[in-house]
Amino acid sequence: MKKIRKDFLWGGAIAANQAEGAYNKDGRGLSTADIQPLIPGADPVDLHFNDLDSSTYEKYRRGAYFYPKRQGVHFYDRYQEYIDVLADMHVKTLRLSISWSRIFPNGDDAEPNEAGLAFYDRLFEYMKSKNIEPIVTIFHYEMPLNLVDKYGGWANRELIDLFVTYGQTVLNRYQDIVKYWILINQINLVHKESFASLGILTDQAHHYEQEKFQAVHHQFVASAKITEFAHKLNPTLQTGMMLADTLTAPYSCDPADVKLNFQRNRMQYFYSDVLLRGEYPEYALTYFEDHNIHLEITESEKVLLRNNTADFLAISYYWSNTVKASENTMDPNSIVKNPHLKANQWGWSINASGLYLCMSKYWDRYRVPMMVAENGIGFKDVLTSDHKVHDNYRIEYHQQHIAALLEAIHEGADIFAYCTWAPFDIISAGTAEMSKRYGFIYVDYDDEGNGSGKFHYKESFYWYRHVIDSNGQELDRTGE
Ligand code: BG6
């Protein structure tokens, strides 16, 4: 029986492109996230910013839209206020990302942008002064737009060196203040977040599926190179690979459902098998061959991958789904809703035991330290006239998920952090709405970016503070 670590890192997670804003300040270059428009009246479940072709890309890029991520929630200008409220919630960690185009505005600049680097100096120093440990992601759904225009995104091998230069620059600069580094956000979500993850335009690829996997291979190689660099630079640095948990359950005990489910899940382990075990597994090589996917993988890259596996596994967990052989294919987007589960208004199902299951499965498979990099659910909160948010639904969600996490720890999983997505309200990654709120702290901006920007503590704020203060032992205590 394992106990939760005494120094367990309770906290939250955000991403630069959803929070910082200041998209053209202090030398920052335009990024892929800056051209994601808010589409009023769009189906909230539809991710319109996925699988972009050139004409949609041009339309978004040059159209007269409102682009919420350009202003985010003004974290760049107001970071001290945000860190202050997080400190008031007693968080031990904040997972956040660095904006690539703040450091290398075009991605291929000869020198980094000093003003961008200086911003993160100030931010990390301020976090340190409040005893908040940074966990830093260096690629979270944004890349300099120039890398799409000039190189065609991650499908181009040149991206490896450009990303490594960026990675080395930030590791060098912040090595004394940042210990935990997540290199690529949700590296396995290439089928759901293809443009945000890879920056490839569908009609520019000869064989889209092949180019996606080639692009992922470039991300693997870049990750291994940065891990090699980090370990030489400073042995205390830890690099993490990150998965969005997408493990499914068979819809029924029909052997055909069970088999498809097994094969689907194995292709989701593919990403962590490469980065944690250090080699391309047989089943993946067979899958590529069967699907006419031919990857360029050199011998020296194989050695590099083998010798530079990641130190920890970061998982984001939101929902779970099922697969049915009569309806679904190997495409990870092809799923059947689990009829036993309720869902939020964006169709994201709620299943706390799925968190227990996935953390236990990953632990059994890899035996490396793990963290929950994201867990949460979006709701349309109502701010009452006396500035309260009665969000028992959020408390209930996290209560159940933390209980599931503790169960996985109890049975042996080595988990060192739990980060809720997101501790304060920020712009949604998928729909670019502000009204899809995840926070314990209400941030008064609306979908069009209007509002006072004031913070209001939701009921869940006090609840989470008790959880943190009791190191996860008090899950029922509400109120101040
Ligand atoms: C994760 C992403 O997949 O999901 C986050 O890493 C994102 O960036 C989160 O915000 C929730 O998704 P959404 O679309 O509701 O913001």
Nearest residue (by CA) to ligand 1, atom 12, is: 429
Q: Whose CA is nearest to atom 16 of ligand 1?
A: 428
**CA angle centred on 386, ends 468 and 18, rounded to 5°:** 55
How many beta carbons lie within 10 A of that of residue 403, not counting itself? 15
Please, what are the averages of pLDDT over each run of 10 residues along the chain (480 residues)?
93 98 98 93 72 93 93 98 98 98 98 98 98 98 97 97 98 98 96 89 92 97 98 97 96 98 96 98 97 97 98 97 96 93 92 97 98 97 96 97 98 98 96 96 97 98 98 93
Does residue 244's CB lie within 6 angstroms of at least one atom of ligand 1? yes
Determine whether the shortest distance from the Cβ of 378 to ligand 1 is under 6 A: yes
pLDDT of residue 34: 97
Output the CA 429–ligand 1 centroid distance in Å.
5
Q: Atom 15, ligand 1: which residue's CA is nearest? A: 428
186 lines ligand 1 (CB under 6 A): yes
Which residues are within 8 A (CB) of 477 and not within 5 positions of it... i.e. 6 or more apart? 463, 466, 470
Backbone angles phi, psi at 471, to 5 degrees: 50, 45
| Residue found by looking up tokens 């030398």 in the block | 27
How is the chain split into domains, by residue range?
Answer: 9-469
CA–CA separation, 169 and 102 (whole Å): 12
d(CA 107, ligand 1 centre) in Å = 24
Q: Does residue 15's CB lie within 6 angstroms of at least one atom of ligand 1?
A: yes
* 59 burial level (CB within 10 Å; 0-12, 13-18, 19+): middle
Provide the pLDDT for residue 41: 75
- State if residue 100 touches ligand 1 by the CB under 6 angstroms criterion: no
Please give the CATH number for the structural domain made up of 9-469. 3.20.20.80
Q: Tell me what pLDDT residue 353 has.
A: 96
The pLDDT, as a whole number, for residue 44 is 65
Contact 246, 320 (CB under 8 A): no
Positions of E strands within 282-369:
312-317, 322-323
Structure tokens given for 16:
């630069």
Round to the nearest angstrom and report the end-to-end CA distance of the chain.
Answer: 33
CB proximity list for 424: less than 8 A, separation 6 or greater: 12, 14, 73, 82, 85, 86, 439, 440, 441, 442, 443, 455
Q: How far is the CA of 139 from the centre of ligand 1 (A)?
A: 14
State the distance from the centre of ligand 1 to the C-alpha of 292, rounded, in angstroms.
32
Question: Can you tell me which atom of ligand 1 is nearest the CA of 189?
Answer: 3
Distance 428 CA to ligand 1 centre (A): 6
Q: How many residues does the chain have?
A: 480
Quick: pLDDT tens for 243-254.
999 999 999 999
Determine the Cα–Cα distance for residues 212 and 179; give it in Å rounded to an integer. Answer: 31
pLDDT of residue 46: 65
Q: State the amino acid at position 408 in one-letter form.
A: A
Give the Cα separation of 132 and 130 in Å (integer).
Answer: 6
Q: Which string of b and e fits 252-277 if b means at least 16 CB within 10 Å?
A: eeeeebbebbeebbebbbbbbbbbbe
What string of H, E and C letters represents the secondary structure of 185-227? CCCCCCCCCHHHHHCCCHHHCCCHHHHHHHHHHHHHHHHHHHH
Index of the ligand 1 atom closest to the CA of residue 430: 14
For residues 469 and 453, give the distance between their C-alpha atoms in angstroms, rounded to a whole number.
Answer: 28
- Out of 38, 187, 316, mutate this one to test ligand 1's pocket (max ligand atoms within 8 Å of CB): namely 316
pLDDT score, position 63? 82
